[in-house]
Chains A and B, each alone.
Chain A
Amino acid sequence: MTEPGRLTVRKTYKLYIGGAFPRSESGRSYPVTSSKGDFLANAALASRKDARDAVIAARKAFPGWSGATAYNRGQILYRIAEMLEGRRAQFADEVAAADGVSARKAGELVDAAVDRLVWYAGWSDKIGAIRGSANPVAGPYLNLSTAEPVGVVAVAAPPEGPLLGLISVIAPVIVTGNTCVVVASERAPLPAVTLAEALATSDLPGGVVNLLTGRLGELAPWLASHMDVNALDLTGCPDDLALSCEQAAAENLKRVFRPSGKPDWLADPGTARLTAFLETKTVWHPIGV
């Protein structure tokens, strides 16, 4: 509660790139309003340069993050869940303001987001067993297929579900060792920035998740045509933008994930979002004395 006569200290909502919180290099911002149209805050309006910086940060973080043990990555995802739980009230307020849902519904959505992180955290050291195989080749060779992260993934977060939807697209990408550049919901970016604050205090190495706020239509084409991005998640793209991004992705044969239909973020997510950003590596070795 605010003391009578005391003015609250507002937060500056910034980008999250390489573990730091810069403003947009362009100096631009845009007003974010509640579902009722009330002014909430000015968010950074990320530029092409910010997107490129974010890709550089993600690429830099990839060797360390993909090289971490699965156990370690799982623990860090679980740690993010812990941090979210601790900020439950703050997230619930932001979700309620953004989506115009009741406080109770907002709380449920935050709970679902926390539970989603816990669910994905557990996949870190199991997806390899599900997706890997020891292949009985017809010859004296040991032949093993293992799942590996694809690299840097550019993610268009869904416009709906500013926290649950966001967590549901980020967690499956990073739990397997990928790093990502995420364009948050243009309409409701504030929970994303608050999530970045939780990520920054979760032992998640800087650069594993980079969050941009701004215009998806402005940022997505640059990410889709960026030659150092390995895969795209087009969940948040409207059809026409998704099409042009998918076409641009052909230039360096990015893996493209585009869900069919509107996702139900409360449904069981399955493994599709995990496997979409995995490669299979097969290693052969002769057997002999």
Chain B
Amino acid sequence: MFEYAPAPESRDIVDIRPSYGLFVNGEWVDSLGDERAKTINPASEEVLAEFAMADDADVDRAVAAARKAYESVWGRLPGRERAKYLFRIARIIQERARELAVLESLDNGKPIRESRDVDLPLVAAHFFYYAGWADKLAYAGFGRRTADGAGFADPRPLGVAAQVIPWNFPLLMLAWKVAPALACGNTVVLKPAETTPLTALAFAEICRQADLPPGVVNIVTGAGATGAALVAHPDVNKVAFTGSTEVGRQIARTVAGTGKKLTLELGGKAANIVFDDAPLDQAVEGIVNGIFFNQGHVCCAGSRLLVQESIEEELLAALKRRLGTLRLGDPLDKNTDIGAINSAAQLDKIKELSEAGEQEGAERWSPPCPLPDKGFWFPPTLFTGVAQSHRIAREEIFGPVLSVLTFRTPAEAVEKANNTPYGLSAGVWTEKGSRILWMAERLRAGVVWSNTFNRFDPTSPFGGYKESGYGREGGVHGLEAYLDV
């Protein structure tokens, strides 16, 4: 590997306050409770800021503000006006993209190359995309012609949306939730993850810069208890959650019988299937992108590599060679490929599952990879000789750990790929078009990447089958989650 001189992005561009309150009704307010927490930079363990852990009364206040804004302003605003607010937000995000990217990398630990080139462009694009829908909902195909035959009625919004998002793509998940909700005429109470609240709090400032009416977006920080209070609040009409399948189950139980509309985007254990005729170099890049993008903190990560037996040796040699070139280290360094693990708790989980992999008999391999002294780090790791029954082949690791399995026939590949309670995504690598389509038809997953992996776009619906959740985000399909249809 070449030696590269450090090329850190400057963090002077961000201005982090020592302490944050809650964003309710367009204002910064102190929590009614006195519990507070600190968010740290996972690459250095340095404290970045202190924030409030919102309690039930705070949640209640935020929901009330959202309700008032829905009834008095946002729910009545013509779609074209809502659209203009969203376009404004998209523009401000573009204007402040570098600052937000640095802030995201500081709080999350992801490489600046990813926050700058993937997260932020997608965040802005998502707001642009749904902004355009706000005044075209009648054409989205959910309603039939009005009784007088003169046109299409606008589908109605749901009301107040409770949104709980994870720490792996903090601002992007905010965009996936907030943009369609607002475009459809709903108001929002959003809870960011407790390890990554800073970009959501920066977004609150963006709402103010955009002159978004108070109460349309409310942001309450906190951990599981805050989220539980929010989804259980009797005055919310819609619950949207991205996170673990376990928490998703609890939310589904809480919401049962209430009539609240629910969308869940949960865990995954995607198979990335490589056939013997695949373009090998491209496949290797796709495998690396599939599992090492964002340190593997990706619900749709290609964490199970299914490789056709006849090319296993050749592919693994190429893959190991490629892993040897990955640069792990300072997330703000523009050359970094793999940043920090988001939290000590997540690092423990990755370590625990990796140890289970060894104990169960799989063979562990990592390239030589010095880890920084401070912060939370895990080297890119792959396991060979993995059986379908191994925990590392069944459980979501949510880290830079790849389990390699083999297959002989396409039917066996399908069988193994679908042998999981999850069904979020899958990858197929082969030069044969008819085989791609045959595989795509049979893979029980919401997104199938063929000869590519981990592509996202606001026009393209994303979401899972089976225990990966329900509902779709993105595209025309993503509107349904926020409309009374």
On A, residues with C-beta under 8 Å from B are: 130, 133, 135-139, 141, 143, 145, 150, 230, 239, 242-243, 246-247, 249-253, 255-256, 260, 270, 279-286
Contact A280 B477 (CB under 8 A): yes
Please tell me if B465 contacts chain A, counting CB pairs below 8 Å: yes
Interchain CA distance A279-B477 in the complex, whole Å: 11
Beyond A135-B460, A138-B457, A250-B256, list 15 extra A-B contacts (CB 8 Å): A130-B141, A133-B477, A135-B459, A145-B460, A253-B252, A256-B256, A279-B446, A282-B447, A282-B448, A282-B460, A282-B461, A282-B462, A282-B475, A283-B447, A283-B448
Contact A243 B455 (CB under 8 A): no
A253-B252, A279-B446, A282-B446 given; A246·B460 CB < 8 A: no
Contact B249 A253 (CB under 8 A): yes
Contact B467 A253 (CB under 8 A): yes
Q: Which chain A residues border B28 with CB–CB below 8 Å?
A: none
Closest 5 CB pairs of A and B: A250-B252, A246-B256, A137-B457, A243-B257, A135-B459
Checking B245, B252, B452 against A141 with a beta-carbon cut-off of 8 angstroms, the contacting residue is B452
A137-B457, A253-B466 given; A281·B450 CB < 8 A: no
Q: How many residues of B contact A (CB 8 A)?
A: 41
Q: Which chain A residues border B449 with CB–CB below 8 Å?
A: 284
Please tell me if B125 contacts chain A, counting CB pairs below 8 Å: yes
Please tell me if B451 contacts chain A, counting CB pairs below 8 Å: yes
Please tell me if B469 contacts chain A, counting CB pairs below 8 Å: yes
On B, residues with C-beta under 8 Å from A are: 125, 141, 144, 245, 248-250, 252-253, 256-257, 259, 264, 266, 421, 436, 440, 445-452, 455, 457, 459-463, 465-467, 469-470, 472, 475-477
A135-B475, A280-B461 given; A250·B249 CB < 8 A: yes
Checking A133, A139, A145, A279 against B465 with a beta-carbon cut-off of 8 angstroms, the contacting residue is A279
Checking A137, A230, A251 against B459 with a beta-carbon cut-off of 8 angstroms, the contacting residue is A137
Interchain CA distance A284-B462 in the complex, whole Å: 11
Interchain CA distance A250-B247 in the complex, whole Å: 11
Interchain CA distance A281-B462 in the complex, whole Å: 8
Checking A135, A280, A282, A284 against B452 with a beta-carbon cut-off of 8 angstroms, the contacting residue is A284
Interchain CA distance A133-B440 in the complex, whole Å: 16
Q: Which chain A residues border B421 with CB–CB below 8 Å?
A: 252
Contact A141 B455 (CB under 8 A): yes
Interchain CA distance A256-B475 in the complex, whole Å: 23
Checking B445, B451, B452, B475 against A133 with a beta-carbon cut-off of 8 angstroms, the contacting residue is B475
Q: Which chain B residues border A136 with CB–CB below 8 Å?
A: 459
Contact A281 B460 (CB under 8 A): no
Write 17 A-B pairs (CB below 8 A) sorted by A numbering.
Answer: A133-B461, A133-B476, A136-B459, A137-B457, A138-B459, A139-B455, A145-B461, A247-B256, A253-B248, A253-B249, A279-B465, A280-B463, A281-B440, A281-B446, A282-B461, A282-B462, A284-B447
Give the most central of B144, B259, B465: most A CB within 10 Å.
B465
